[in-house]
Amino acid sequence: MSSPAVEDICGLSRFQSLWQRCLLDAAADNSAAIHQRLVSGYNETQRRYHTLAHIAHCLTLFDQCKSLATNADALEIAVWFHDVIFQPGKHDNEARSAELYQSLADSVHDKKMRQLVDRLIMATLHDGSSLDDSDASYMVDIDLSSFGLDWEAFLLDSQHLREENPHLSDRDYYRNQAKFHSSLLARPRFYLSDFFYQRFEQKARANVSRYLEQIRELT
């Protein structure tokens, strides 16, 4: 069950306003049903990190940088949808999340919007692809912004991520984590946009370095 604060940030009125202002003329408005689909997805029982609280966190950061975005509505829609499909151990969650958006937006959002949202969602693979514009950099940084939280919050997120992967042994899980976290540290910049770099870069690097030291004996 989500907290009242999370439910307020991720409320129906906010989503409806966003969806409706992106509608093509005379397009049907199914925003209430779509919002319910999103909320139901993020409240699935297998989730511990990829929850509605994660979306609330991302929306809060989006609100702080949206004036810098080229297409803020596309960026916000991507935030809402980027983790709506989540099955532990699957490698196509982002692609399936993008596909769900495409199916719901077909004939109601214009083609350019749909293509941009798709690209922004796929940028959260964090493999360096789909970074064709500045909004993709904001999307990636928003998704990784929790790395720059205080250590206790960062560690809690890390514990929740572990709980989402019970199918992996500690050795396999932490080996994968070490590889991913090391790849982030190896970047010239952890955060791609100046907005996030200035606010979270130093803390994120400190957290990741400390975490790698902590899990080294488990890999």
Residue 193 — pLDDT band, cuts 50, 70, 90? very high
Q: What is the pLDDT of residue 130?
A: 65
Residue 4 — pLDDT band, cuts 50, 70, 90? confident
Q: Over the chain, what HEC string results?
A: CCCHHHHHHCCHHHHHHHHHHCCCCCCCCCHHHHHHHHHHHHCCCCCCCCCHHHHHHHHHHHHHHHHHCCCHHHHHHHHHHCCCCCCCCCCCHHHHHHHHHHHHHCCCCCHHHHHHHHHHHHHHHCCCCCCCCHHHHHHHHHHHHHHHCCHHHHHHHHHHHHHCCCCCCHHHHHHHHHHHHHHHHHCCCCCCCHHHHHHHHHHHHHHHHHHHHHHHHHC
Whether pLDDT at 148 is above 90: yes
Mean pLDDT score of the chain: 95
Residues 155-172: pLDDT tens digits? 999 999 999 999 999 999
pTM: 0.95
Q: What is the pLDDT of residue 2?
A: 67
Whether pLDDT at 182 is above 90: yes
Domains and CATH numbers, the chain: 4-218 (1.10.1300.10)
